[in-house]
Amino acid sequence: MIIEKADRIKNLPPYLFAKIDQMKEEVKQTGADIIDLGVGDPDLPTPPHIIAALQDAAKDPKNHCYPSYTGMIEFRDAVSKWYQKRFNVSLDSHSEVISLIGSKEGIAHIPLAFVNPDDIVLIPDPGYPVYKTATLFAGGKSHFMPLLKENHFLPDFTKIPEETLSKAKLMFLNYPNNPTAAVADRFFFEKAVQLAHQHQIIICHDAAYTEIAFDGYKPLSILEIPDAKDVAIEFHSLSKTYNMTGWRIAFAVGNPEIIAALGQVKTNIDSGVAQAIQIAGITALLGDQTPLAEIKNTYQERRDLLVAGLKEAGFEIDAPKATFYLWVNILPGFTSTKLTSHLLTEAAVVTTPGVGFGTSGEGYIRIALTVDKEKIAEVVKRIKNLGFK
């Protein structure tokens, strides 16, 4: 039999990190000691009190059954309490909060709820790759909004043609931003909410990195903007905040009709987050927050070490206010792909080419701060030895 894939996946480029993994494997075969600053997966463990909550919950047979589709009410209440405390935003746990099996899952499903064939989705470029593929899977058309240094890596809404705005159904935004590490201020979110009202566009704000911020900076929730709840939902995740990427727990909050439609898609596809994991999630959100302070300090120290080292090695770079990424200008004579290949083959250091996140990402590489200080010092040594300066 001839196995014929559907058009929607036939021409899909390989998932960015799958391609990098393959290159990494090839270098590993040569015996090189690879340091991986590629994928944004925290190297630190989940705090022990969260693990203990899971262990207890896992023993209770009540938690062995199918969970509720929308999430346990106790988990959704915990999310509401956390939002109130962290952002001073009130949420109705019943209608304005839904649990997700990681925010990637919610982001991948939301276009299925709202996008008809040929509807336009506004997507940041560079951006988290799932916005684009989810749009494609729903039959929608991506309109990319360049994130440029001269605009502090914020989209310039005035550059979006009127006709595009009239056909746009959804807009993805993501601050603190992956991959540029940029942050957005209140004025930007106000403009986004105003645009959404004006053109009937649903905003999906991906807020996966709001808790990883430095030097006392506190990123905003888009829901802090008056009237945002009329047009927006926000995706949040426990993955990065509590080193829980492998646990697959996250949530979406905001406009109840948008949340309900996402729930409608999900009920037909998945059966919710395992209860024991939700119970551990409650402990993460409402329990001792000291580990989060430690996590942030750790990233901040790594950031300072690597930024200083890369500057000495000849790179131009600003220390980011949030996320655990550095968005680094490439050097003359390189493209982003050439520079990442060079760093991998000559220094056994894995980084990600900016162009992998979209054409406007060309000119940069992304470096994740997900190894310890000793390894970062080793990275700096190896890069300095390449003699760029």
Ligand X SMILES: Cc1ncc(COP(=O)(O)O)c(C=O)c1O
Neighbours of 65 (CB within 10 A): 9
24 binds ligand X (CB under 6 A): no
- What secondary structure does DSSP assign to 278-332, as a single string? HHHHHHHHHS--HHHHHHHHHHHHHHHHHHHHHHHTT------SBSSEEEEEPPT
Looking at 20-28, 96-104, 264-272, 344-352, which segment touches ligand X (CB under 6 A)?
96-104
Work out which of 36, 125, 206, 211 binds ligand X, going by CB under 6 A.
206
CB of 129 to ligand X, least distance (A): 9
104 binds ligand X (CB under 6 A): yes
Looking at 63-71, 97-105, 288-296, 309-317, which segment touches ligand X (CB under 6 A)?
97-105
Nearer to ligand X, 109 or 199 (CB): 109
Work out which of 208, 220, 225, 295 binds ligand X, going by CB under 6 A.
208
Work out which of 194, 245, 329, 345 binds ligand X, going by CB under 6 A.
245
Nearer to ligand X, 135 or 237 (CB): 237
225 binds ligand X (CB under 6 A): no
Report the sign of the C-alpha dihedral through residues 142, 147, 153, 154, in that order.
negative
| 205, amino acid identity | H
Nearer to ligand X, 165 or 369 (CB): 369
CB of 173 to ligand X, least distance (A): 10
49 burial level (CB within 10 Å; 0-12, 13-18, 19+): middle
* Cβ contact 210:174 at 8 Å: no
Site for ligand X in 113-172 (CB under 6 A): 128
103 binds ligand X (CB under 6 A): yes
- How does strand 232-237 pair with strand 250-254? antiparallel
76 binds ligand X (CB under 6 A): no
278 binds ligand X (CB under 6 A): no
Work out which of 47, 102, 219, 356 binds ligand X, going by CB under 6 A.
102
**248 closest CA partner among 112, 87, 108, 90:** 108
CB of 147 to ligand X, least distance (A): 13
Q: Which tokens hold the place of 99?
A: 């649990």
Give 3-state DSSP helix, strand, coil % of the chain, rounded to 5.
45, 15, 40
Instruction: Give strand ranges (E) for 59-191.
Output: 97-100, 120-125, 141-146, 168-173
Q: For 241, phi and psi rounded to 5 degrees?
A: -65, -40
Q: How far apart are CA 244 and CA 239, in angstroms?
A: 4
Looking at 141-149, 237-245, 282-290, 371-379, which segment touches ligand X (CB under 6 A)?
237-245
Looking at 15-23, 78-86, 98-106, 313-321, which segment touches ligand X (CB under 6 A)?
98-106
234 binds ligand X (CB under 6 A): no
Rounded alpha-carbon distances, angstroms, from residue 13 to 17, 48, 110: 11, 39, 21
# residues near ligand X by CB under 6 A: 13
Three-state SS string over 350-367 comes to: ECEEHHHHCHHHCCEEEE
Report the sign of the C-alpha dihedral through residues 71, 75, 77, 82, in that order.
negative
Nearer to ligand X, 214 or 324 (CB): 324
Looking at 25-33, 47-55, 102-110, 138-146, which segment touches ligand X (CB under 6 A)?
102-110
239 binds ligand X (CB under 6 A): yes
36 binds ligand X (CB under 6 A): no
338: Cβ–Cβ under 8 A, 6 or more apart, which residues?
Answer: none
CB of 229 to ligand X, least distance (A): 21
Give me the residues that bind ligand X (CB under 6 A), please: 40, 102-104, 128, 174, 178, 206, 208, 237, 239, 245, 250
